[in-house]
Amino acid sequence: MISKACVVGAYQGKLEQIALHQDIDLTVIVPPLWRDKRGTLPLERVHTRGYKLLVEPILFNGSYHFYYYPNLGQSLISLRPDVVHIDEEPYNFATWHALRIAQRLGAYALFFAWQNIDRRYPWPFCTMESYVLKRADAAIFGSSGAYGVWKSKGYRGYGAIIPQFGIDPDLFPMRSGNGCNDKGFSVGFVGRLVREKGVDVLLRALAKLPDKVNLVVIGAGPERNALQQLAVRLQISERIVFVPWLPSMEIPERLRSFDALVLPSRTTSNWKEQFGRVLLEAMASGVPVIGSDSGEIPSVIGDAGLMFPEGDFDALARQLLRLMDDNSLWKRVSQTGRDRVMSNFSQAQVASETVSVYRRMANDA
pLDDT in tens, 241-259: 999 999 889 999 999 999 9
Residue-by-residue DSSP string for 111-133: EEE---S-----TTHHHHHHHHH
Total length of the chain = 365
Contact call for residues 38 and 245 (beta carbons, < 8 A): yes
Going from the N-terminus, what domains does the chain have, and what CATH number goes with each? 5-166+346-364 (3.40.50.2000), 185-344 (3.40.50.2000)
181: pLDDT confidence band, cut at 50, 70 and 90? Answer: low
Residue 199 phi, psi dihedral angles, 5° rounding = -65, -30
In order of 51, 211, 237, 319, the CA distances from 93 in angstroms are 26, 50, 43, 43
pLDDT tens per residue across span 35-87: 987 789 999 999 999 999 999 999 999 999 999 999 999 999 999 999 999 99
Q: Quote the radius of gyration of the chain (alpha carbons, Å).
A: 21
Judge whether residue 195 has pLDDT over 90.
yes
φ and ψ at 83, to 5 degrees? -130, 135
Quick check: 216 and 254 in contact, CB under 8 A?
Answer: yes
Q: pTM value?
A: 0.88
d(CA 265, CA 293): 8
Position 180 confidence tier, pLDDT thresholds 50, 70, 90: low
**Summary mean pLDDT of the chain:** 94
